[in-house]
Chain A
Amino acid sequence: MPKRLRRSMLFVPGNNPALIIDAPVFAPDSIILDLEDAVAVDQKDAARELVVSALKTLDFGPSEICVRINARHTPFFAEDVRALTPARPHALRLAMVESAEDIACLDELLTKCEAEAALTPGTIKIMAAIETAQGVLNAREIALASPRLVAMSFGAEDFTNSIQSERTSHGHELLLARAAVVLAARAAGIDPIDTVYSQVDDDAGFRADVHAAKQMGFAGKSCVHPRQIAVVHDVFSPTAEEVMKAERVLAAFADALQQGSGVIAVDGKMVDGPIVAKAQRIVSLAKASESSLEGRVR
């Protein structure tokens, strides 16, 4: 089975039935039903019920289904986890994670709730949202805090607030934090996911931002609008040219192995271990992208 792609993660307000029903149409790699920022404090209970009901009744197709739950220090956290576990989302994205302890606490509660719901321990995965200076500094420990962790996302809006700065178009204020999240996640073998780009109308700006995220090492990007998904998939999927080149490298490598030859060259260039590994990564990403196209929502 190809690796699960997390190029695009579409936020959908947890209190909007029409948007929840339509989300799979756009075939994002992940759908994040949001119980945190999108939902007013006095509507948390209703939204939670709606999301639980959606998880139990709707077919989301091949998309991964996550729920962004309220931060550990809020009065909604425990009830979010208790109510959602029996509905079996693929993962919970915990908002405002600042320490490994936040994740350990969620892991422990999930284990308990899974047992109560007769689910295999570890069924529900965790994604950690790093959105504060404290979270960035503890990113490495956070990324290693639970075997349930599959991804670590960065949230720029709260982060700039926590460092008493503001978001700019050049994004210099985010550089170190984004890099820290990528490093921590990659070192732990989980997916780093970049922050949202809120200016929905700025197509060129968004595309540049997605390119930058890919270049920094992110595996994907959180999206606030369905129209952003195609751009993300376009940027994060290898081009036909890249795939062809990678296939040539792998073929030459296989050939060399068979013939016991130590030195390989493709297109006149020496091919060594990291280049073979990169080619393998590109081909596997291409295969996963292709299968995500085949499995598009109906």
Chain B
Amino acid sequence: MIANKVGRLVPSFVENLGEFEPFAGVFATPPTGRRYAPPLCKPAAGGKKLLSSLRQAILASGLQSGMTISFHHHFRNGDLLVNMVVDEIAALGLRDITLAPSSLQSIHQALIPHIRSGVITAITTSGLRGELAEVLTRESLLKSPVLIRSHGGRARAIESGELKIDVAFLGASAADIYGNMNGIHGPAACGSLGYAMVDAQYADCVVGVTDNIVPYPALPISIPQTQVDFVVQVDKVGDPKGIMTGATRLTRDPLELYIAAQATRVIEASGYFCEGFSFQAGTGGASLAVAKFLKEKMAATGLRGGFSTGGSTGYICEMLKEGYFSAILDTQCFDLAAVESLRTNPRHVEMSASYYANPHAKACTAHITDIMMLAATEIDTAFNVNVLTGSDGIMMGASGGHSDTAAGTKLRLVTAPLIRGRFPIVVDSVHTVITPGECIDVLVTERGIAVNPTQPTLRERLHEAGIATVSIEELQWRAEKLTGKPEPLAQGDELVALVEYRDGTLIDVVRRVL
């Protein structure tokens, strides 16, 4: 184990996963090598791709024990596909499969028996939640630790061939029999298929799965026929109730509204809230309320934004429609209003995870955005942020685009209540580093605002605008005055997850919680 740039001990070699470099700084490790390329293939006569069942598709794909399968998470907790495919794989007697979805949700707890029985023996994902996450943090069930990647980092790993996908099973709410697909028509409409685009481009075999076959061509084309090997029609690919998140409503919580109002003041004073500014809001909590407050300022001053990026919610789409933003670049839609906007507004377009956040793409929007609203389950006095593990050390979230956007955005603003549950948000050292403190400019809580000492200009700008700031240690003290200092967690030596930074180096590990 060697210490990396944020002082975490990380392994340089892990059985079954290979060698790793330690995290050396945000842009410190340059890429090497070339892009991976899937094999050329001869399409079936007449372009016939439609198969009658998942089992047929698994057999046709040539999937073998020991291979890697991938999925996207656009159906979120309404995803039915991962569980269906793994059930079929198990029934076919295949074993030792690596599961490489863009993320996992609580509905995927159905995979636990397949993990215990050895059908799935390795997982790489952006995040995991619920019982599956708890089991994988408390027990050592896989042959190697779960490999956590950011959205941009996953796209990078796929493009570089580090994550070689043998078969990608990509759900779509609409597809034609030749494999053109989108997520904006049909009963399981989920909007953008941004995370699936990278899999479609680089997987050796691509299986499109839909419950809604439409006449050729399935327009608009999010994933083209040129990348798809087979198409399967199933009864139901996703449950709309789980696809639409509840996290996209504007909060009514007075504390979150207060934090949002403070964050809005910080943004206004930062110098980045100017004509044509670009913005990523995120969902839930205070961040959507910030969008609302910014809209009020824009309405009053006539100032207009440039592009909005990341995921989209109905509220941001409404702002696009009203002219507050000029475009939305979208990797995922969080609600039906956003899906509708993607369907009807030509200035609302899908982008792939690589276009969004791949550190080794020739450009990514995460590097050219002005203002980014970030969340935190914990932040430490060095401003390192955790969004993966909870106060109990159990995995419960996702790396997502957190470290990607923080690396390149001009203003990186974390909003969080200073106390959540009975725990302080500011701690001596976060349980898991997802985003290094060098990428965080300011923390806004209901009990004070702390600017990273590396950003003296920002602090001056806030002071000039009459916004008081305190040190992050002062915020920690204010929290601990109410909560006390939490006891250290009891954890073993065994590694249950590795956290890869977006450039492929290791930034942290997650140890088994006892």
Contacts and interface: CB of A to CB of B under 8 A. Distances in A.
Interface of A: 21-22, 25-26, 58-59, 225-227, 296-298
Nearest to B470: A298
A21 B417 CA distance: 13
Contacts of B481: 59
Interface stretch (B171-179, B211-219, B253-261, B357-365): B253-261
In the A-B complex, the 4 residue pairs with the closest CB atoms:
A226-B254, A25-B446, A298-B448, A227-B254
A296 B419 CA distance: 18
Given A22-B446, A25-B446, A25-B447, A298 B478 contact: yes
A10 to B, nearest CB: 10
A297 B447 contact: yes
B482 interface: yes
Nearest to B419: A21
B445 to A, nearest CB: 9
Interface string B382-412: 0000000000000000000000000000000
Contacts of B468: 296
Interface in B460-490: 468, 470, 478, 481-482
Q: Is the interface of A mostly helix, strand, loop or mixed?
A: loop
A145 to B, nearest CB: 36
Contacts of B447: 25, 297-298
A103 to B, nearest CB: 33
A144 B69 CA distance: 81
Given A226-B255, A226-B258, 6 more contacts: A21-B419, A21-B482, A22-B255, A59-B481, A225-B254, A297-B447
Contacts of A296: 468
Contacts of B257: 227
Question: Interface size for chain B: under 10, 10 to 19, 20 to 34, or 35 or more residues?
Answer: 10 to 19
Nearest to B255: A22
A297 B447 CA distance: 7
* Central interface residue in A58, A296, A298, by most chain B CB within 10 Å: A298
* Central interface residue in B258, B448, B468, B470, by most chain A CB within 10 Å: B258
Contacts of B258: 25-26, 226
A25 B482 contact: no
15 contacts: A21-B419, A25-B258, A25-B447, A26-B254, A26-B258, A59-B481, A225-B254, A226-B254, A226-B255, A226-B258, A296-B468, A297-B447, A298-B447, A298-B448, A298-B478
A115 B198 CA distance: 77
Contacts of A58: 482
Contacts of B255: 22, 25, 226
Contacts of B448: 298
Contacts of A25: 255, 258, 446-447
A59 B419 CA distance: 15
* Central interface residue in A25, A58, A226, by most chain B CB within 10 Å: A25
Contacts of A22: 254-255, 446
A226 to B, nearest CB: 4
B283 to A, nearest CB: 21
A225 B253 CA distance: 10
Contacts of A297: 447
A21 B254 CA distance: 13
Contacts of A59: 481
A296 B257 CA distance: 17
A21 B481 CA distance: 11
Contacts of A225: 254
Interface in B190-235: none
A298 B482 CA distance: 13
